[in-house]
Amino acid sequence: MNPMFPLALSNQLHAIDYGVFLVYFAIVSVYGYWIYNKKKRDEASTTDFFLAEGSLTWWAIGASLIASNISAEQFIGMSGDGFRLGVAIAAYEWIAAISLIVVGVFFLPIYLKNRIFTMPQFLKERYNESVALIMAVFWLFLYVLVNLTSILYLGAEAIRPMLGIEHSQGVMVALAIFATIITIGGMKVIGYTDVIQVVVLIFGGLATTYIALKMVSEYLGIDGGAIAGFNALMERAPDHFHMMLWKPGPDASPEYVSKYLAVPASMYIAGQWVANLNYWGCNQYITQRALGADLETARKGLLFAGFLKLLMPVLVMLPGIAAFVLHQNGQLQEQMLKNGQVSGDQAYSAVLTFLPIGLRGLSVAALTAAIVASLAGKANSISTIFTLDIYKRYINTGASEKKLIWIGRLAIVLSMVAALAFTWQDTLNIGGEGGFKFIQKYTGYISPGIFAMFLLGMFWQRTTGAAAIAGLLSGFGLSVFFNEVAPRLSRENLLYTAYPNGKVIDGAPVYEIPFLICMGWAFAFSILLMVVISLFGPKVNPKAFAIDRTMFRVSPSTLALIVIILMLLGALYIKFW
């Protein structure tokens, strides 16, 4: 055993690790309290509390976007997918960088010009109140019962072993309290504390990746440190370094088919774009960070987030590939087991067991930062939608600014309590289904319809309210059809090919269409249906937004940033094609 890893294979934190973690907690708390006191005199404004209007800088917006996005499902789920699939899973992060460019250039000008503060407000002003109310209620249930619950459960399960705690409920309560304290301070507190969270996340993540690569070189007897470890990964697991997984042939191995089902190359035609653009452009707790800023600041914030997205696979995917190579060479045999079987979801925690004193505390702090920031972001969005789109509009139309802020804070507390109640005994079976699958199951089915509704609502003035409702319902129905019904009707046709997914029911193999291909077709047919219905309406819908091409012009500095991101992304795809 190399002396660099004095606590190898130990799950327990040292006193120094606890000290590092407490320093992180103290810095975030003190800084958040200072920001809160600094803005307290302006607190009577709801736009300040919910949006931090005009007070977030571009770097705070970008950092807050990443902090809200990265959580336990990335650290655990993407590391696990790195173990199973390799670099192909990085598409979720790297295509997100392009999606952020698209949102910044084309979506944000429409939101900001029309003073859109919430996504239900967009639907009300573009379509009608019925569409807005339906989606407001839906988003509240989704954010509380899917997002908050999954983050709490996965976060507690990830941190609990490092603390040597048998049950996760205490960790859940601590995470919920920490996130609530940050959230009730308002968006400005969230935005600026997220900067610290992202710094901790990046440095802790880089430290974990460095040690993982160092471990590979040490255990394989290769000189050269982390760089040699990375080269060893490419040599020992070449199948893990291909971005494009092409359609399997008749002789393809079950392992390759399993990888293709998760990230097929054809997803780049539509499905991957639907997932990313819907998430980054039509999602309250993401877009909310930019809606309170001016266009130039908001755009630069999104582009800064785009740069950080290029880095994320290094933090959360490479440790998974390192764990795969180590496992293939006889290491981490016990650490990769879950319920007696090898599980990729154990990869990140397995790597953490090798971190030296101090760095382990930093890595746990990074994981905690990601979890708390995501909880705070989602809780703030729940508060914003409930207060502005339901309470103010339907319950108390004459409420004062001060009353609205306190209602928003009450919504934050109640949403956290509800999330804790559903995760206390894992009532929703998040652990049984797997965290990433749980999230995809309840969000992926509705993404095609929502994105179709937003996309045509923004850029086609003829789109009607009836078409919007039809698109939303058809998107969900088609997603269910392609995922659950179509593989039983036909295994191959012009639209898709279904493959055995390794499961067997009543002695017969179960066939599956890649999820992202299903999403692409559901989106395409939803768009087609919306177009047909809208053609029966007026040529210009009275509620359509006016679009001026000058809205989409970017400054020279913004254009330079876009070009740099695209060049970096192009280099990555050329390297790992």
Q: What is the pLDDT of residues 491-502, one digit of tens each?
A: 899 899 999 888
Confidence of residue 202 (pLDDT cuts 50, 70, 90): confident
How far is residue 104's CA from residue 564's CA, in Å, rounded to a whole number? 15
| pLDDT of residue 6 exceeding 50 | no
DSSP annotation of 41: G
How far is residue 448's CA from residue 526's CA, in Å, rounded to a whole number? 7
Task: Name, in order, each residue with C-beta under 8 angstroms of 454's C-beta and a sequence gap of 6 or more.
Answer: 122, 278, 281, 282
Predicted pLDDT of residue 455? 94
Q: Is residue 328 a contact partner of residue 236, using CB atoms and an 8 Å limit?
A: yes
What distances in angstroms separate CA 151 from CA 144, 386, 419, 431, 574, one per listed residue? 10, 20, 10, 12, 34
Predicted pLDDT of residue 478? 94
| pLDDT of residue 8 exceeding 60 | no
Confidence of residue 303 (pLDDT cuts 50, 70, 90): very high
Q: What is the average per-residue pLDDT within 523-533?
A: 96
* C-alpha 444, offset from chain centre: 12
Q: What is the average per-residue pLDDT within 413-419?
A: 93
Predicted pLDDT of residue 53? 56
* C-alpha 421, offset from chain centre: 23
| pLDDT of residue 182 exceeding 50 | yes
| pLDDT of residue 198 exceeding 90 | no
* C-alpha 43, offset from chain centre: 30
Confidence of residue 453 (pLDDT cuts 50, 70, 90): very high
Predicted pLDDT of residue 415? 93
Q: What is the average per-residue pLDDT within 131-154?
A: 86
Q: Whose CA is closest to 411, among 372, 454, 378, 366?
A: 378
Q: What is the average per-residue pLDDT within 401-412?
A: 88
Q: What is the average per-residue pLDDT within 463-479?
A: 92
Give the rounded percent of residues in the chain with a pLDDT score beyond 90: 28
Highest mean pLDDT among 49-58, 115-124, 367-376: 115-124
Q: What is the average per-residue pLDDT within 521-538?
A: 95
Predicted pLDDT of residue 440? 66
What mean pLDDT value characterizes the chain? Answer: 84
Highest mean pLDDT among 153-157, 325-329, 395-399, 570-574: 570-574
How far is residue 119's CA from residue 101's CA, in Å, rounded to a whole number? 19
Task: Name, in order, each residue with C-beta under 8 angstroms of 188's C-beta and a sequence gap of 6 or more.
Answer: 35, 39, 48, 52, 55, 56
Q: Is residue 385 a contact partner of residue 284, using CB atoms and an 8 Å limit?
A: yes
Q: What is the average per-residue pLDDT within 134-150?
A: 86
Residue located via tokens 């429409």: 110
Q: Judging by DSSP bridges, how do beta strands 337-338 and 499-505 pair with one another? A: unpaired
pLDDT digits (tens, 9 = 90+) for 65-105: 887 777 767 777 788 888 888 899 899 899 999 999 999 99
Which domains does the chain carry?
15-437 (1.20.1730.10), 444-546 (no CATH)
pLDDT digits (tens, 9 = 90+) for 12-33: 677 888 888 788 878 877 877 7
pLDDT digits (tens, 9 = 90+) for 330-383: 888 777 777 677 777 778 878 877 778 777 787 778 778 778 878 888 888 898
How far is residue 351's CA from residue 211's CA, in Å, rounded to a whole number? 8
282-296, 302-316, 493-507: the lowest-pLDDT one: 282-296
49-58, 111-120, 235-244, 278-287: the lowest-pLDDT one: 49-58
Query: What residue type is assigned to position 31 of the chain?
Result: Y
| pLDDT of residue 2 exceeding 60 | no
Predicted pLDDT of residue 45? 60
Predicted pLDDT of residue 11? 55
71-85, 156-170, 215-229, 426-440: the lowest-pLDDT one: 426-440
| pLDDT of residue 4 exceeding 60 | no
Q: What is the average per-residue pLDDT within 152-156?
A: 84
Q: Is residue 135 a contact partner of residue 316, using CB atoms and an 8 Å limit?
A: no
